[in-house]
Structure 1
């Protein structure tokens, strides 16, 4: 073989390697079968080792990247507020805000605003007055749920309260004294820094004034200085502590409240409904737990207003009117459009529009103790006061029946003040008291517009959520929804009544 043949041979081998068919022929021709199988096995083992090394190199990278994504997702989720409000009553904001850093470098929670609505609601249960709070299993107390505040409750209990350090040193002052003349004092535990009137946004709901919020905070959070029984035996007068610079009698300065039974809790709901409808005739009312009676249950506390005119002991009214006289007043439309009534009309100082506001308010809550004290317009239960007092039997001469709880203020004789607003949520739609609406052919535009706007539920949720103790005592949002269901159905019935009777809807902002 010449020297020139060697490069050509190498060239031929290289070209054969690039051609699969030639390689195969070369392999089969020149290699024995056993050696060929051995080389194939070695190549497979080498290739398999290569795959295993590549997989082991890739897996740690994917694992680390997955952990990084998860940690970032969790961090973003922690900074993103949850929309909506669950059934337990906790609130979360519908509006996002930029997170802010606190003094220690931690993220502060965004501002909480109001409540979102659910699409479906369960059917409400029949409720008497309001949802009763769960009773704790404790020893029986002189004042159980729904009872009055008897005089004997406070007598002889001062020593028992004094033996409980940190609670109360004196339970009662002079029993039976007139409101404002309080003797004795009570010392309670320091009030918590967090108010029971919770406002998490920059401003309160538009239907509540600044004075309303101040009164609500005073009733809910102020330290109790003394208490006194009232002649009605259904409530007590609570005097709250004042600042050192305050002068004058506590009740005259607006630092007193009327605490009633847990059964009267619907008065808190009535106050918020009154403000939402734009009537502004009810006194501020909140829920508060009492440590010195009612076994710590939530009770309604209503602001004591010293400007209310003295009332008659029998009718609890500052104006004496019978049902027949009331119907005549509605026909005369006293003081409407600046019209001065004639003497023979028998008008009072109360403006005609006040009766329309009261009738609408009482119908939605089915308050019968003002316009239908004898329960002549519906079938009462045995628990109703008219049945307990035997007044249901006195419906034959309805024109002679006195109206009750018709109250004015001394400095404002034209307008009414709604007191004792105990409503009933357990009255079925086929047993509503339409006698309350008799003679009313005009209704306030502000209230009717809220009923027609279909935003009544949203506003009631936002407003009632401010009162923490009331919200919790009614079972959170689930219990509040049941109450609102009842009012919504009655509002639809009222709107149908207005359309069917051709009643006018007028602005009543005089």
Structure 2
């Protein structure tokens, strides 16, 4: 009994080949009786039939070998049925081949998606800004706003009609999740959207009492020319070089200080040669904390007020303490903010605490030469609200990111014995970078103007290094970290 076992897919294949060979030999023996032409013709026909039959048999056996092997145990494919998939674009049924024992790849044809998927945390594509036609005051001509029209506005006559704002439902303030970051209030988000997307009807140069001249834009909802009555419908346009105002706003909210005015980045075709400019919400209630020349706040009087903790715990200060109306804790909050951003104009306008550059304001105006009598140096830009005189408002927050750790202004920290616990806890949490990235991403104009994430990361690197220096200073000088709730 023959012990050889033949698989079902190969039954009779060897016998068939033997029969073909025998038949071919018989045909060759018979060809001896024919002429040469007939011999060659018969041989050619036989060869063609032989080749066709051989190729057909090999192809059939190959397909049969790919079928599951019922004699092979532990086969992962032995119980899998064959499936058919239909291509929705062609309407034809394509039979999938059974997988081989190696390099198995499953391909699933899915139907086309009729509606786009809702993907959170993605960046919306930029929309092209359309040219807006502005109707002249006479109402008889329509002129397209172009560069030549914009350049004529950077004169003393800044009043004009610019229908510049959002495009449909598009906003440069990107909030893709259900809620904004927790350090922003509803009023902050409302103000940011107003500054970024509102329709601008006029830009004027104004000089509020106690302030230098400001470029103020007015929205379509404003029906007054009075800067004092322009509440929540006007914004201050800063220079493109002052873009750090936007970073300062986000840092202020993350540190829990809440002392800066909302600021965003916005592109004006009529100002700054089309570059993005920082715009800050205008508050007509702002007033200098010392608005009388006889009540000058010098460095010496400031240090004395820190010593006696003016207005702390509701204690009314004595005249010899030389206190202002500002609460003691407000100076501690200001110091944390100014040190991280290295803002020197408020507490050290003469640049006596560091080595300034030739382009710094204190050098250009010659203030740096007057550092001999430090106690008589006047503090500037100390601002509060008229209805809330005890709390500071951080105004004109131009920061400097190009100052290394060897040239920081430690004079800002002199006389400070306490710092706010909420701000210090954020610096110690090692989550400052994460929060700044999450916060600054909301302002698309600012994000793009700084070179995207790569540029933002470089700015955060500077703040993180200064935060480490500040924490080291706190430990070395025994600075107390206390609650400073308003």
TM-score under structure 2 length normalisation? 0.73
Q: How does 1:9-20 map to 2 (within 5 A)?
A: 18=2
Distance 1:306 1:55 in 2: 87
Distance 1:365 1:268 in 2: 12
C-alpha deviation, 1:54, in angstroms: 2.8
Distance 1:394 1:170 in 2: 40
Cα distance per residue 1:347-383 (max 9 Å; x no partner) = 2211100000001100000000001000000000011
CA gap of 1:331–1:311, structure 2 versus 1, over 3 A, is closer
Q: How does 1:259-408 map to 2 (within 5 A)?
A: 259-310=237-288, 320-408=296-384
**5+ long unaligned stretches in structure 2:** 5-17, 26-49, 68-93, 124-136
Q: How does 1:143-182 map to 2 (within 5 A)?
A: 165-166=144-145, 175=156
Distance 2:278 2:320 in 1: 43
Cα distance per residue 1:321-363 (max 9 Å; x no partner) = 0000000001001121222222221222111000000011000
Say which of 457, 463, 473 aligns to 2:433: 457
CA gap of 1:292–1:233, structure 2 versus 1, over 3 A, is farther
Matched with 1:467 is 443
**Contact preservation (8 Å) 2:154, 2:270:** no
Matched with 1:446 is 422
Matched position secondary structure for 1:331: helix
Matched position secondary structure for 1:309: strand
- 1:236 counterpart = 2:215: yes
Cα distance per residue 1:9-40 (max 9 Å; x no partner) = xxxxxx6xx378xxxxxxxxxxxxxx999569
**5+ long unaligned stretches in structure 1:** 1-14, 21-34, 79-100, 115-157, 177-182
Cα distance per residue 1:130-187 (max 9 Å; x no partner) = xxxxxxxxxxxxxxxxxxxxxxxxxxxx9xxx995145699659949xxxxxx94413
Distance 1:36 1:290 in 2: 92
Task: Judge which range, 246-255 or 279-288, deviates more.
Answer: 246-255
**Contact preservation (8 Å) 2:172, 2:196:** yes
User: Larger Cα Rg: Structure 1 or Structure 2?
Assistant: 2
Say which of 84, 106, 109 aligns to 1:69: 106
**Contact preservation (8 Å) 1:113, 1:201:** no
**Contact preservation (8 Å) 1:373, 1:403:** yes
What CA RMSD, in Å, does the superposition of the two structures yield over aligned residues?
A: 3.7
Task: Judge which range, 223-232 or 196-205, deviates more.
Answer: 223-232
Matched with 2:162 is 187
CA gap of 1:164–1:481, structure 2 versus 1, over 3 A, is farther
C-alpha deviation, 1:237, in angstroms: 1.2
Say which of 60, 80, 83 aligns to 1:53: 60
Distance 1:260 1:190 in 2: 17
Distance 2:19 2:151 in 1: 108
- 1:109 counterpart = 2:118: yes
CA gap of 1:174–1:433, structure 2 versus 1, over 3 A, is closer
Matched position secondary structure for 2:144: coil
TM-score under structure 1 length normalisation? 0.69
Matched position secondary structure for 1:54: helix
Distance 1:413 1:40 in 2: 117
CA gap of 1:264–1:218, structure 2 versus 1, over 3 A, is same
CA gap of 1:64–1:373, structure 2 versus 1, over 3 A, is farther
C-alpha deviation, 1:55, in angstroms: 2.1
Matched position secondary structure for 2:415: coil
Distance 2:3 2:472 in 1: 94
Distance 1:266 1:190 in 2: 22
C-alpha deviation, 1:392, in angstroms: 0.8
